[in-house]
Amino acid sequence: MSKLGQVVEAVESYNEFVLKEVKRARTDEVFGQQMVDRWNDVKAKTPIGTAPTGLKLPRLALPEIDEAGEITRYLLGEGLPGEFPFTSGAYREMYLEPLRELEAGSYGKDGRNGKNGHSKNGKNGAKAAAPKPAEVEEPTRLFSGLGLAEDTNARFHFLTGHQRSARLSTAFDGPTLYGIDSDAEGVFGKIGEGGLAIDTYEDMVRLYDGFDMGSPAFSASMTISGPAPIIMAMYIAAAKKRFGPKVVPNLRGTIQADIFKEVQAQNETIFPTEASLRFLCDMIEWTTREMPRWYPVSISGYHIGEAGSTPVQQAAYTVSNGFAYAEMLAARGIPVDQFGPRLSFFLDCGLDVEYIALARVSRRIWAIGMRDVFGAGPKAQMFKLHTQTSGRSLVAAEFKNNLTRTAAELMLAYMNGTNSCHSNSADEPFTTPSEEWIRLAAHGQAILLDESGIFKHTMNMLSGSPGMKAVERAVEAAMLEEFRQIEAFGGVLPAIEHRYQRSQIQNAAHRYEQQIYDGTRPIIALTKYNDLKDEMPEVKMVRTPRAKKQLQVDRLAKFKKRNAEKAKRALDKLSDVVERGENCFPTLIEVVEVCSLGQITGRLQEVVGHFRPMV
């Protein structure tokens, strides 16, 4: 049985354990009383805040129950925010306004009890999960990338000018995503389209110019997977050039680097899967040791969802991919409590009903699997989540409706306790967002979190309604069923080789399209209330002018000319390290100082081969 099969058993056995404990609380008076006492204690220690209207509200909302069995079901089955199994949130408090001094109660001193779980090895579950409250920072992340590095840099300054912290999310153009240089034949038209062009680490220096890369108030996320280790090396080289070698341990951010979802859905991979995974693990091994604040892989369902999967498929494939990474990293001998806390997740949020609870279920399954199958401690049990509203759900017809779609999705994402979030711009069906619409997308989150009172006074404001619980149970059962299907192939990798996930996603995508046109899925202004029949709307298109594309090509030529001699030696060294099977990441950090992305990719492909596409 692969680890995934064991996860299925662990979740089933945890669910049975909860039921048994519920029964015990009802029959064993002493135990029942302990649970009631704990419940009363949690309630008593919950601080009270004040809304601007003067209304007093607890910082944590709990169900109105006082019977020992129901209390046990809640504390063990769902858990408090920040406590195993983390159903309602990875942290105790998120999105809340800071408490004013006078109101601060004892909460936080000894408010954590944490004796809420069973554990096969009896070790980890008994420890209190006592994470610090999330740092006060905005969860808003807006994915940006256009033109050349300096253009995206300007967009970053535009977006973060008024924020306390600079949390940059970086999109790359097609050639970069495929590890190809801007001067390669046939790609000129693609330079700087849909994201920015990076050919050398000097572009990376331009990209984050003016930002203090080592500051706690700065973090960067980079959405790239195929050549991720090379891009990560460029990021490190750029930071070192600007701030010296001491900056490295302070670097914060995320690189997507998720090979599994590329092979399953997004198709941006350049080396054979096995080699890609090796380079990825080299990077993770190095960064989890040397850059403890960095998230070196963002296990992503977004692209699976956007490729047309159902929400359950999206979450099931993502979480199972996560367990597959954990299995690989553990097999390398990296301690689970070293790599576990550095794994993060990324899900899509669309309008289907499953999204009411998709992230909640994912968090719960991850926590149980990590604790009971991998023996992970509390920090490695937490499913840290970035969410993006669904691009696929946005349509071109009367595109201003996309503001409403995105607003509804944002609501779902925050109801699910996402740790950070990107809201799509309404002009997404047409173009890389223009400033007008990206501004509205950012404002959408601010209106929800800062202006409205929905999320800023009370944790669990909307958690645990009967409907949400019903969705949760159905989604969990369906996800476990998907796990069993994957397990039947022998685990995630064998299932990938059999095209299992790909064919499931493709079938779901086809059905989705058919449902749009057979009326099962009404799309407003496209298939319903589409009386306006508008012409193509006037949308400002963001495109990269020819002269800029040429500038990028010229800069790259100069870089290559200047480093020609050194590049050859560096690439030979890289080949040797890869052939010898050593961790190649430290060498990559040196190589990027004299070689372009395409030069490095090309050399690595000579050594390990090319990715063979799957259909």
Binding positions for another protein, rule: CB under 8 A: 173-175, 177-178, 180, 185-191, 193-195, 262, 266-268, 272, 275, 306-308, 395-397, 399, 429-432, 498, 506, 509-510, 513-514, 517, 526, 535-536, 539, 541, 543, 608-610, 612-615
Question: Scanning the structure block, which residue is given the tokens 């990324």?
Answer: 346
CB of residue 394 to another protein, shortest distance in Å: 9
Nearer to another protein, 90 or 187 (CB): 187
Nearer to another protein, 306 or 372 (CB): 306
Nearer to another protein, 371 or 405 (CB): 405
Rounded to the nearest 5 degrees, what angle is found at the Cα of 547, between the Cα atoms of 543 and 552?
90
Name the residue type at position 51. Answer: A
3 state DSSP class of 15: helix
Q: What one-character DSSP code corresponds to residue 569?
A: H
Nearer to another protein, 3 or 190 (CB): 190
Closest to 84 (Cα-Cα) out of 29, 5, 17: 17
Q: What one-character DSSP code corresponds to residue 253?
A: E
Nearer to another protein, 151 or 593 (CB): 151
CB of residue 518 to another protein, shortest distance in Å: 10
- Cis ω for the linkage preceding 85 (within 30 of 0): yes
CB of residue 510 to another protein, shortest distance in Å: 5
Asked whether the beta carbons of 300 and 261 are under 8 A apart, the reply is yes
In terms of Cβ atoms closer than 10 Å to its own Cβ (0-12, 13-18, 19+), residue 482 is buried
User: CB neighbours of 403 closer than 8 A, spacing ≥ 6?
Assistant: 426, 440, 444
CB of residue 192 to another protein, shortest distance in Å: 9
CB of residue 532 to another protein, shortest distance in Å: 12
Backbone angles phi, psi at 522, to 5 degrees: -65, 135
User: CB neighbours of 7 closer than 8 A, spacing ≥ 6?
Assistant: 323, 365, 368, 369, 373, 483
CB of residue 83 to another protein, shortest distance in Å: 38
Nearer to another protein, 211 or 430 (CB): 430
Closest to 373 (Cα-Cα) out of 323, 331, 317, 337: 323
Asked whether the beta carbons of 598 and 180 are under 8 A apart, the reply is yes
Nearer to another protein, 198 or 365 (CB): 198
Nearer to another protein, 161 or 186 (CB): 186
How many residues in total does the chain contain?
615
CB of residue 235 to another protein, shortest distance in Å: 21
Our measurement of the distance from residue 241's CA atom to the centroid of its chain's CA atoms, rounded to an integer in Å, reads: 29
Nearer to another protein, 36 or 351 (CB): 351
Nearer to another protein, 102 or 541 (CB): 541
The tokens for 525 are 């202004």
Nearer to another protein, 518 or 565 (CB): 518
The tokens for 464 are 């645990």
Q: What is the phi-psi region of residue 366: left when phi exceeds 0, alpha when psi lies from -120 to 50, beta otherwise? A: alpha
Nearer to another protein, 188 or 243 (CB): 188
Closest to 87 (Cα-Cα) out of 384, 446, 418, 362: 362
Closest to 141 (Cα-Cα) out of 176, 179, 170: 170
C-alpha–C-alpha distance, residues 459 and 57, integer Å: 10
Burial state string for 205-232 with b = 16 or more CB within 10 A and e = fewer than 16: bbbbeebebbeeebbbbbbbbbbbbbbb
CB of residue 278 to another protein, shortest distance in Å: 12
User: CB neighbours of 20 closer than 8 A, spacing ≥ 6?
Assistant: none
Question: Scanning the structure block, which residue is given the tokens 């369906």?
Answer: 478
CB of residue 174 to another protein, shortest distance in Å: 3
Asked whether the beta carbons of 594 and 564 are under 8 A apart, the reply is no
CB of residue 502 to another protein, shortest distance in Å: 9
CB of residue 613 to another protein, shortest distance in Å: 5
CB of residue 206 to another protein, shortest distance in Å: 21
C-alpha–C-alpha distance, residues 156 and 100, integer Å: 32
CB of residue 52 to another protein, shortest distance in Å: 41
Nearer to another protein, 540 or 569 (CB): 540
